[in-house]
Structure 1
């Protein structure tokens, strides 16, 4: 009897300890254990730390917590168990996590349906369940979540129709349903209600019927509207032209028919957007619509109108007249060619290309150097389209317009300051006698007495003339050039406030760039590039867009520099740096394209597009779009493209299309993970809270520009028009 109270005491103590252990585990911890119980296979032991004897689930792997006012313990706000190959189902108990903001279970083998009880997790704003084996219909109950912004259910086996009550998901910003088994028609009347949607992907399903015209009401959409790999039919609604200009369409592999409307943003799409729709026709496809009139014949193809009583003999006489005219024209052209050839032969014999042998002095202040000249000191002005390219002679300073006039010896006597030197020559600031500062790039000697020197001069003059005719307030203007055996000079406008690279780093006396200045800079660069691509006399590719090539004036207006420079340097026959060819569109001469080299010491520009790193790749305007997107990302984040990545710190060349700058990866991952905007922005303008919407829009532009698929990148004109809407 004496032992009974003692035994009873021990029993009560053990029960008390067991009860204490159970009670100590928070309600959030119990909900998480329900998920662990629903997992039937965990090959990587990713849930091994989830132990009921541990009273604090905030230390479990994949679980994040935060303090919440009114609760004595932290609450679970994030659950990330992704790409762990776990097998099981999603239990409804996860809906009891009232403060759960982000649920990421992608890349597993979860099956079953998406439980409707998840709608009880009222704080949920991001749900990533892609890459599983989930089945059942679209979980409409999730639209009751008041804060849900990101819903990614792609790469599952969900089926049924896309419900009409999807319109209740008005707060959604990203809806990704690709690679499922959804069928039926895409509902109309839904999309005008989802005016905050910035990303929509319905590709690779079994959807049929026509494209709803009210897709055109998605005013916030950016990136790609992807409807590809379905069974959609009918015509493309012209209302899609109301979509923002930065939106890229992907309508491939459907059964669409009719002529592609040429309105709004539809007119900016490339042919890739419409491929594998056998019934589509019109621009940009090379398919003429049946009801479309054939192209009008040229003047030479228009047949003479029939005349009554015209004999066969008279017809033969007319043909003979045409043949005689052609022969006369050919004869005149041949005589002209012979005369030009004789003229240049006489010029070479009399004047020669080896008159001068002066030595340059690349010193700093003082006379620029004893540049050697041959003949007169006057400037040959070639203003006006009617004058031939390349006018001027070896040893003459050739100006591009009549308003820019001074004597060559005036330039040579002026004080000069070295601004920089590199593989593309030395750049001086020169103040000429009139007090006007100019930038003079000295390309050095070579190319004069060498074989083909005369031909090189002609090519150089022609290219310089073409570059000089490109006139835009955001492109540095080439004012004049000089060519002799020992010296090749390029004279351009001097831009006084350094470049964007130094401004972003706060060097050279630059104050911190404000948001308004950043917006001014990026808009100006977009305007200048769009002009080079579409509006200048020819369609050009710059090929080397980077912050150090974006010069700034005192008002922080940007000026794109080094346009066409590598082409000119290559013509001179001098050694240039290892960056790829930066030159014109294929409409210009390509006789002296530099060959790409590779080796252990080559350090390609980190701003290059991935496809630009492939040997012998031909420059395209989409290279510039990618580089612009990287510059925009750097301007937003304050981080360089490689972010001290070990892949580039070694100096080894990367493998072409496999290379994606670390900055692009980081920004994309940040948006995928719904990282707070403050963690991604340059901290120098975080206080300017009023720019949040503009910043988000610019991030979407940057992501579209740096798309890995060059065909999906927007045109610079589209980018420029979209940026112009910001800050207005």
Structure 2
């Protein structure tokens, strides 16, 4: 399919953007045809980023079409970033890119179609959560962990997602998880390289075009979703793969409890604070989702709570790597350290320091993604 020529001639962008890969470009007319002009009947979901529609290619292949909202905080640079990054990723637990479309007014990403939509539509729904038995939740947790491990260590470059949350984890027909939405992801080099060195390395390896170098600068701002961002990253911009580890810890707690970290207990505390209290009092089984009471092994549940609390440690150096996490989750004989009580949970949980924390957020660096989610 042809790229819409109008985009190339419009002058809206300073220079044409080449993905440097075999990513398919779709013309807008074909996308309108397969979605019924973006009809409500083909709509799969909606968020701050825009709307997702279902479509079918001429050969019968089903696809998911993300139409970015004009009001979305995901601008053209984040859009380019998402397409360029995901096009290079090949892993069973990473969403597969099918193509893209850019016109004067439209920014559209085409993904493989995921029959069961996003994880949050299951774990936070009283009726649908009953479909997730313990074995299925364990498979989802391991899949997410392996997907993150691939991002962090699967190539000569590290990719940090920066917005891991249940709504960005999609489920296929067999309920296998796939990490999606790479609009805020960032690519960095190994070791102690500077950001400039990492960018040059990425370009040399074909991961980034010269235009993507601008994306690297643009995505250096603090971004993410409130409740899944570690406070140290929010307050001082400390940046490493450990910010994804923190987000994974929150998601892990949400999966096994069926409770949402944001607004837990009507905002009087956060899920992390609640879980740590249960941990200290040796009552972590109280956290278990009611639907799991009959099928879950207590010792395995406690182990998963332990791993989650390690992931949300205040000091990034105290958090495990995703390699460590996968080993602890997958190996029954793996030693799981005891977590330290987080000192920050009162601040992010709506307790005494909530007001001062909110003020500090307002004076932080520019957040490129809504703290209430996209």
TM-score above 0.5: yes
Q: What is the CA-CA distance between 1:514 and the residue it aligns to?
A: 0.3
Q: What is the CA-CA distance between 1:619 and the residue it aligns to?
A: 3.7
2:50 aligned residue: 425
1:611 aligned residue: 232
**Paired residues of 1:541 and 1:619 also in contact (CA < 8 A):** no
**Paired residues of 2:161 and 2:186 also in contact (CA < 8 A):** yes
Q: Tell me whether 1:696 sits opposite 2:302 in the alignment.
A: yes
1:710 aligned residue: 316
- Change in 2 beyond 3 A, CA 1:709/1:550: same
- Change in 2 beyond 3 A, CA 1:466/1:547: closer
The separation in 2 between residues aligned to 1:415 and 1:628, in whole angstroms, is: 34
Q: What is the CA-CA distance between 1:406 and the residue it aligns to?
A: 7.6
Identify which of 278, 281, 292 aligns with 1:673.
281
Identify which of 36, 60, 68 aligns with 1:435.
60
Identify which of 474, 478, 484 aligns with 2:93.
474
Gaps of 5+ in 2: 37-41, 189-194, 200-212, 334-374
Q: 1:352 aligns to what SS in structure 2?
A: helix
Q: 1:491 aligns to what SS in structure 2?
A: strand
- Change in 2 beyond 3 A, CA 1:639/1:509: closer
The separation in 2 between residues aligned to 1:505 and 1:490, in whole angstroms, is: 27
Could you list the per-position Cα deviations for residues 207-257 of structure 1 after superposition, in whole angstroms to 9, with x for gaps in the alignment?
Answer: xxxxxxxxxxxxxxxxxxxxxxxxxxxxxxxxxxxxxxxxxxxxxxxxxxx
Larger radius of gyration: 1
**Paired residues of 1:549 and 1:562 also in contact (CA < 8 A):** yes
Identify which of 125, 128, 133 aligns with 1:506.
125
Q: Tell me whether 1:483 sits opposite 2:89 in the alignment.
A: no
**Paired residues of 1:630 and 1:702 also in contact (CA < 8 A):** yes
- Structure 2 matches for 1:181-580, cutoff 5 A? 352-354=9-11, 390-391=19-20, 399-400=22-23, 409-416=29-36, 417-443=42-68, 464-506=83-125, 509=128, 511-536=130-155, 538-563=157-182, 565-566=183-184
**Paired residues of 2:56 and 2:63 also in contact (CA < 8 A):** yes
- Change in 2 beyond 3 A, CA 1:722/1:412: same
The separation in 1 between residues aligned to 2:263 and 2:226, in whole angstroms, is: 14
Q: What is the CA-CA distance between 1:469 and the residue it aligns to?
A: 0.8
The separation in 2 between residues aligned to 1:539 and 1:430, in whole angstroms, is: 33
**Paired residues of 1:390 and 1:462 also in contact (CA < 8 A):** no
More helix by share: 2
The separation in 2 between residues aligned to 1:462 and 1:666, in whole angstroms, is: 37
- Structure 2 matches for 1:611-630, cutoff 5 A? 611-614=232-235, 617-630=237-250
Gaps of 5+ in 1: 1-347, 356-387, 392-397, 447-452, 567-581, 598-602, 650-660
The separation in 2 between residues aligned to 1:606 and 1:460, in whole angstroms, is: 24
The separation in 2 between residues aligned to 1:706 and 1:445, in whole angstroms, is: 34
**Paired residues of 1:552 and 1:559 also in contact (CA < 8 A):** yes
Could you list the per-position Cα deviations for residues 346-399 of structure 1 after superposition, in whole angstroms to 9, with x for gaps in the alignment?
Answer: xx9xx63259xxxxxxxxxxxxxxxxxxxxxxxxxxxxxxxx9634xxxxxx85
The separation in 1 between residues aligned to 2:246 and 2:327, in whole angstroms, is: 17
How many residue pairs end up in the alignment? 293
**Paired residues of 2:130 and 2:291 also in contact (CA < 8 A):** no
Q: 2:10 aligns to what SS in structure 1?
A: coil
- Change in 2 beyond 3 A, CA 1:678/1:591: closer
The separation in 1 between residues aligned to 2:144 and 2:221, in whole angstroms, is: 28
**Paired residues of 1:469 and 1:537 also in contact (CA < 8 A):** no
2:209 aligned residue: none
Q: What is the CA-CA distance between 1:678 and the residue it aligns to?
A: 3.5
The separation in 2 between residues aligned to 1:537 and 1:353, in whole angstroms, is: 37
TM-score normalised per structure 1: 0.37
Could you list the per-position Cα deviations for residues 440-476 of structure 1 after superposition, in whole angstroms to 9, with x for gaps in the alignment?
Answer: 1223569xxxxxx9xx78x965763332011111111
**Paired residues of 2:82 and 2:181 also in contact (CA < 8 A):** no
The separation in 1 between residues aligned to 2:84 and 2:305, in whole angstroms, is: 38
The separation in 2 between residues aligned to 1:605 and 1:352, in whole angstroms, is: 39
- Change in 2 beyond 3 A, CA 1:506/1:596: closer
The separation in 2 between residues aligned to 1:700 and 1:439, in whole angstroms, is: 36
- Change in 2 beyond 3 A, CA 1:411/1:643: closer
Larger RCO, structures 1/2 (Cα 8 Å, 6+ apart)? 2
Q: What is the CA-CA distance between 1:709 and the residue it aligns to?
A: 0.9
- Change in 2 beyond 3 A, CA 1:702/1:418: same
TM-score normalised per structure 2: 0.68
- Change in 2 beyond 3 A, CA 1:523/1:530: same
Q: 1:584 aligns to what SS in structure 2?
A: strand
Could you list the per-position Cα deviations for residues 412-448 of structure 1 after superposition, in whole angstroms to 9, with x for gaps in the alignment?
Answer: 32135222333322221112222211111223569xx
1:641 aligned residue: 261
**Paired residues of 1:500 and 1:547 also in contact (CA < 8 A):** yes
Q: 1:666 aligns to what SS in structure 2?
A: helix
The root-mean-square deviation of aligned C-alpha atoms, in Å, is 3.4
